[in-house]
Amino acid sequence: MVSSQEECTRYCVNGGSCLSGTCTEPNTPVAPAGPDTGAQAVRDKLANIAERGVGFPTVSAATLAGRIVRAALVLLGVIFLVLTIFGGSLFLTAGGNEEQVKKAKAVLIRAAIGLVIVLFAGAMTQFITGFLSRAVVVQ
């Protein structure tokens, strides 16, 4: 039941008529809208989701592989930093102990070699993913 004749006329569909606030044709009343809860906005966004996709960006396999390799290289760079700090702290706290100095030098040398390998791997990844993700033009 709606509060006024004008609202009743607006909510009766298929040519229904209003009699004291109620639609007279059977099965045609449309309930007046209640307070906006945002549900309709959600329904609108979810409508036709199969055609639109779920909102994930589409990337090529080469780009995805490049991103994964770059993330791994960043992780290796962080490990290098930790090893450098560890080797430096061993060296600084050696206090003349030759065994600890040897150990610190070995850690620093291995960390530097690891950094060189990571830098070359990063350069190769950048080159390969750049080459593979270029558009191929057929003439």
Q: pLDDT averaged over consecutive 10-residue blocks of the chain (139 residues)?
A: 57 61 56 64 69 66 78 89 94 91 95 90 82 68
70 in any annotated domain:
yes
| HSE-CB for 97 with a 13 A CA cutoff | 10
Which pLDDT score, from 0 to 100, does residue 8 have?
62
18 in any annotated domain:
yes
Do residue 69 and residue 128 come from a single domain?
yes
Element at 65 (helix H, strand E): helix 61-92
Cβ distance 11 to 21 under 8 Å?
no
Element at 23 (helix H, strand E): strand 22-23
Do residue 66 and residue 128 come from a single domain?
yes
**Total domains, the chain:** 2
10 in any annotated domain:
yes
111 in any annotated domain:
yes
Instruction: Give the pTM.
Output: 0.50
Do residue 21 and residue 67 come from a single domain?
no
Do residue 15 and residue 71 come from a single domain?
no
DSSP 3-state assignment of 48? coil
Task: Supply the range of the domain harboring residue 69.
Answer: 61-132
Which pLDDT score, from 0 to 100, does residue 25 have?
59
Do residue 66 and residue 127 come from a single domain?
yes
138 in any annotated domain:
no
Residue with tokens 């090529």: 60
Do residue 82 and residue 124 come from a single domain?
yes
Q: Cα Rg for the chain, rounded, in angstroms?
A: 35
CA angle 138, 136, 73 (to 5 degrees): 170
Which pLDDT score, from 0 to 100, does residue 110 have?
94
